[in-house]
């Protein structure tokens, strides 16, 4: 009997394991806050209002006491207050904006279980937002010169097959090749079947991490790169956490007082070298090449397309590094919010920023692009993103998931992939 009981307990444990590992979390209180106007976009000097609802177990919370605040996104609120929502719903009048931009309303509700909050954001003539970052007279001369300096630098690529990462359709490799300073590392996928294929460069978001193969079921060459000059296949190693908390902590500010030594110089040039590498592959069709990324990667997508005419299409999710000087002009600036604190507001750093701001690369883009973002983004403020997108004169489509913050819906990600696949002729 004891053996049977032990076996039964083991079976129950095995069955319970997957159930617990797949458990999900959710908020006990759900706060809905949204601009009242259909479309969530107002005009300059138009009265702005937000609708609010407090829900528990899917039902409105009667006599809900809330704290609210509103004002231009990422800035100090222009007004704070409290109110009681008798039937669980209400409206907050948020005044007007006299300039194009975004206004954000934050709602907080507290009960005996805890504190809950959410935000809603309204656009105000966002297509009229103009950047604050200056455009240096020698902007493109600076970058053309840096790219020219790499012309005689051999790629010396190394490809190491990763059989455990491949499948019936594609081989996967860990690759490296020379950059302006050091090496670029990445994960490359190539279809097994002989032929010529389009290529997609996937550029990374912020941070230090390993990377995986992308789109291994497609008739497509993909290259997912890292930007820090370290291998990207150390999946069980503490290397990345050690770098992130050590020498690469705050990498986006390293040497920012010198445009020739700023950390992102080798990053931007590394993206161009990645295009060189893709063009060196005999399986590449030599023409159809796209670039895609989100956040820092959304920025690098625009930058790469602006620097390299061999890029034919770009897909950018919520681009960072856009209109960095916004804070110096009384409005939100782009991630990494370099000029929000006074100690970074040195003239030399402001001058360097102009050579690295996405806005100024956006002005160079000549190819079709899809730009996808949400109004609630609290990492890459939409004012900063629109500053860059509005600077693009090439064919562009803006896909809005208006209540999204700094993340993507599955449908949003699928839309971006399908747009790129169609442009590249991938089935």
Query: Which of 126, 156, 180 is the endpoint of a domain?
Result: 126
Task: Output the pLDDT for position 191.
Answer: 98
Assess whether 350 and 297 both reside in one domain: yes
Query: Which of 126, 149, 181 is the endpoint of a domain?
Result: 126
Query: Which of 100, 126, 152 is the endpoint of a domain?
Result: 126
In a domain, 9, yes or no: no
Which domain does 294 fall in, by range?
A: 139-424
The answer to whether the Cα torsion of 377, 382, 384, 386 is positive or negative is positive
**Residue 422 main-chain phi, psi, to 5 deg:** -65, -45
Collect the ranges in the chain with pLDDT lower than 70. 1-22, 343
Q: What is the total count of domains within the chain?
A: 2
Q: What is the CATH number of the domain that holds 237?
A: 3.40.50.1820
* pLDDT tens-place string over residues 64-80: 999 999 999 999 999 99
Assess whether 219 and 143 both reside in one domain: yes
In a domain, 316, yes or no: yes
Assess whether 265 and 349 both reside in one domain: yes
* pLDDT tens-place string over residues 255-288: 999 999 999 999 999 999 999 999 999 999 999 9
Assess whether 302 and 381 both reside in one domain: yes
Task: Output the pLDDT for position 413.
Answer: 97
Assess whether 175 and 50 both reside in one domain: no
* pLDDT tens-place string over residues 14-51: 444 444 456 777 889 999 999 999 999 999 999 999 99
Task: Output the pLDDT for position 378.
Answer: 94
Assess whether 150 and 116 both reside in one domain: no
Assess whether 102 and 218 both reside in one domain: no
Quote the CA–CA distance of 68 and 90 in Å, as a whole number: 12
In a domain, 196, yes or no: yes
Task: Output the pLDDT for position 168.
Answer: 96
Long-range interactions of 47-50: CB distance < 8 A, separation 24+: 47/93, 47/95, 47/96, 48/93, 48/94, 48/95, 48/96, 48/97, 48/103, 48/122, 48/124, 49/91, 49/92, 49/93, 49/94, 50/91, 50/92, 50/94, 50/105, 50/120, 50/122
Q: Which positions are catalytic?
A: 295, 377, 406
In a domain, 11, yes or no: no
For residue 76, what are the contacts with CB-CB under 8 A and spacing of at least 6? none
In a domain, 417, yes or no: yes
Assess whether 33 and 156 both reside in one domain: no
Assess whether 246 and 334 both reside in one domain: yes
Assess whether 100 and 146 both reside in one domain: no
Task: Output the pLDDT for position 341.
Answer: 79
Assess whether 78 and 167 both reside in one domain: no
Task: Output the pLDDT for position 22.
Answer: 61
In a domain, 152, yes or no: yes
Assess whether 145 and 71 both reside in one domain: no
Task: Output the pLDDT for position 343.
Answer: 64
In a domain, 113, yes or no: yes
SS (H, E, C) the chain: CHHHHHHHHHHHHHHHHHHHHCCCCCCCEEEEEEECCCCCEECCCCCCEEEEEEEECCEECCCEEEEEEEEECCCCCCEEEEEEECCCEEEEECCCCCCCEEEEEEEEEEECCEEEEEEEEEEECHHHCCCCCCCCCCHHHHHHHHHHCCCCCCCCCEEEECCCCCCCCEEEEEEEEECCCCEEEEEEEEECCCCCEEEEEECCCCCCCCCCCCCCCCCCEEEEECCCCCCCCCCCCCHHHHHHHCCCCCHHHCCCCCCCCCHHHHHHHHHHHHHHHHHHCCCEEEEEEEEEEECHHHHHHHHHHHHCCCCCEEEEECCCCCCHHHHHHCCCCCCCCCCCCHHHCCHHHHHHHHCCCHHHHHCCCCCCEEEEECCCCCCCCHHHHHHHHCCCCCCEEEEECCCCCCCCCHHHHHHHHHHHHHHHCCC
Q: What is the CATH number of the domain that holds 49?
A: 2.60.40.1930
């Amino acid at each position: 009997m004891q053996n049977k009981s032990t076996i039964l307990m083991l079976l129950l444990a095995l069955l319970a394991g997957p159930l617990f590992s797949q458990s999900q979390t959710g908020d006990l209180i759900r706060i809905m806050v949204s601009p009242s106007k259909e479309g969530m976009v107002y005009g300059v000097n138009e009265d702005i209002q937000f609708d609010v609802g407090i829900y528990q177990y899917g039902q409105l919370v009667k006599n809900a006491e809330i704290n609210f605040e509103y004002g231009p996104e990422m800035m100090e609120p222009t007004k704070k207050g409290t109110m009681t929502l008798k039937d669980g719903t209400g409206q907050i009048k948020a005044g007007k904006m006299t300039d194009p931009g975004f206004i954000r309303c934050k709602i907080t509700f507290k009960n005996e279980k805890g504190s809950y909050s959410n935000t809603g954001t309204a656009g105000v003539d966002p297509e009229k937002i103009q950047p604050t970052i200056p455009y240096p007279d020698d902007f493109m001369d600076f970058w053309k010169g840096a790219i020219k300096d790499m012309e005689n630098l051999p790629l010396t690529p190394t490809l190491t097959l990763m059989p455990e990462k491949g499948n019936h359709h594609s081989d996967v490799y860990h690759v490296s090749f020379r950059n302006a300073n050091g090496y670029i590392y990445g994960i490359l996928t190539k279809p097994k079947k002989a032929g010529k294929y389009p290529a997609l460069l996937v550029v990374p978001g912020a941070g230090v991490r390993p990377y995986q193969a992308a789109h291994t079921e497609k008739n497509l060459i993909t290259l997912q790169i890292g930007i820090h000059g370290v291998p990207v296949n150390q999946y069980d190693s503490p290397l990345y956490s050690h770098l992130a908390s050590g020498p690469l902590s705050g990498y986006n500010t390293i040497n920012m007082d010198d445009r020739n030594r700023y950390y992102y110089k080798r990053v931007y040039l590394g993206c161009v070298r990645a295009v060189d590498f893709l063009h060196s592959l005999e399986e590449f069709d030599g023409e159809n090449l796209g670039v895609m990324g989100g956040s820092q990667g959304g920025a690098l997508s625009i930058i790469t397309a602006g620097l390299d005419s061999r890029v034919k299409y770009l897909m950018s999710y919520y681009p960072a590094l856009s209109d960095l000087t916004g804070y110096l002009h009384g409005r939100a600036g782009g991630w990494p919010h370099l000029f929000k604190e006074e100690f970074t507001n040195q003239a030399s750093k402001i001058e360097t920023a102009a050579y690295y701001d996405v806005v100024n690369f956006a002005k160079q883009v000549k190819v079709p692009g899809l730009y996808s973002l949400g109004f609630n983004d609290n990492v890459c403020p939409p004012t900063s993103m629109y500053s860059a997108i509005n600077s693009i004169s090439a064919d562009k489509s803006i896909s809005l998931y208006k209540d999204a913050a700094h993340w993507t819906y599955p449908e949003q990600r699928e839309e971006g992939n399908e747009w790129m696949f169609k442009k590249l002729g991938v089935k």
